[in-house]
Amino acid sequence: MTEAFVVGLARQAIDLTLLLSIPMLGLGLIVGLIISIFQAVTQIQEMTLTFVPKIIVVLLALLFTFPWMMNKMIDFTRHLILIIPNLAK
């Protein structure tokens, strides 16, 4: 097991983490921006107005993307398990 292999494996793990977090973070960002614009236009400064819709949207995004996320995580785990014999050399 070389240093390049470990760095490559860590990079794959970070890439997968970022890829899996993009749907929830992106939708949360978009909803937060829309609500912030709405609050600025209407001058409503209610704190719960920002949190509740973002929580709902993030949970819905998680619900809809969960099968895709699980497939990506299972593929990565399967890849790790398959390379275990190569690590012992």
Annotated domain spans of the chain: 3-87
pTM of the model: 0.79
List the one residue out of 7, 51, 54 whose CA is nearest residue 30.
Answer: 54
Q: Structure tokens of 64?
A: 């809809």
Taking only Cα atoms into account, the Rg of the chain, rounded to an integer number of angstroms, comes to: 19
Q: Structure tokens of 80?
A: 């790790």
Long-range CB pairs of 50-59 (<8 Å, 24+ gap) are 54/28, 57/27, 57/28, 57/31, 58/24, 58/27, 58/28
pLDDT in tens, 50-71: 889 999 999 999 999 999 999 9
Among the residue ranges 11-15, 16-20, 36-40, 74-78, the one predicted with the least confidence is 36-40
Q: Which residue has the tokens 């399967």?
A: 78
Q: Structure tokens of 68?
A: 């895709």
